Amino acid sequence: MSTDLILALDVPTREEAAPLLRQLRGTLKWVKIGLQMFTAHGPDYVRAVAAEGFNIFLDLKLHDIPNTVAKAVESLAPLPIGMLTLHASGGREMMAAAQKAAAQTKPDLLLLGVTVLTSTDAAGLAETGVNAPPETQVARLARLATGAGGAGLRGLVCSPLEVPLLRRELPAHIQLITPGIRPATEAGATSADDQKRTMTPAEAARAGANYIVVGRPILKAADPAAAARAIMHELMQKPESPKT
């Protein structure tokens, strides 16, 4: 199984994004547009990035009553997007309504259930009343989204640390998309970002991730295209098995 790279285009403005996209055109296929850019520039920006030849992962993490989320999916369906996120914590009914709307309006759209954010640890979960470690909550939400009797989603967003668990528990066709990725050259460095549950690209690929999402290590690189190529090269490397 191959693992593909998605750029998290988490920058403030389209003017800042433009030179990055020019440099990365032809190097990687997928770009993630999140709330920051979508709120600032709207659907037309999604169309503009797609017109430059990129596949679009629209990361809006929809979470509302089932009918509202379903209508949002219908509204987004005309856009040139390949992936769209919603919070699995919204529940089975909400996710099922979204999946039904996608099937009726854009059958090839991969809806992704977001399990536990990579910025959330056990203490953060406990503050919201979830008295379980992140991996337990991830597995619970994954089954709700994709398992037998679940909402019928075909993909999930999870920390790379939970990928081995989900690969054991879920059908092989379920697509796993993992943020919280740090290249091997940065894995041991102190980071100023908010990711708490991370892996290197090679570790995530070996664990069974279909896609990894990387932002700052590419966006802040002196040569973003070279940084992206290095990560893709790392994806093809298998780390040594841990010694027991």
**Cα distance between residue 48 and residue 21, in whole Å:** 11
**Cα distance between residue 41 and residue 33, in whole Å:** 10
Mean pLDDT of 61-73: 98
Q: Which residue has the higher pLDDT, 2 or 187?
A: 2
Residue 145 CB partners (closer than 8 Å, separation 6+): 88, 92, 95, 113, 115, 151, 153, 156
Quick one: angle between helices 66-76 and 92-105, nearest 10?
A: 30
Domain annotation for the chain: domains and CATH numbers = 4-235 (3.20.20.70)
pLDDT in tens, 132-155: 898 999 999 999 999 888 899 999
In the numeric block, which tokens belong to residue 101? 């709307």
The pTM for the full model equals 0.90
Q: Is 71 among the catalytic positions?
A: no
Quick one: angle between helices 35-51 and 14-24, nearest 10?
A: 40
Task: Find the catalytic residue in 29, 61, 71, 100.
Answer: 61
Q: Among candidates 163, 181, 158, 178, which has minimal Cα distance to 227?
A: 181
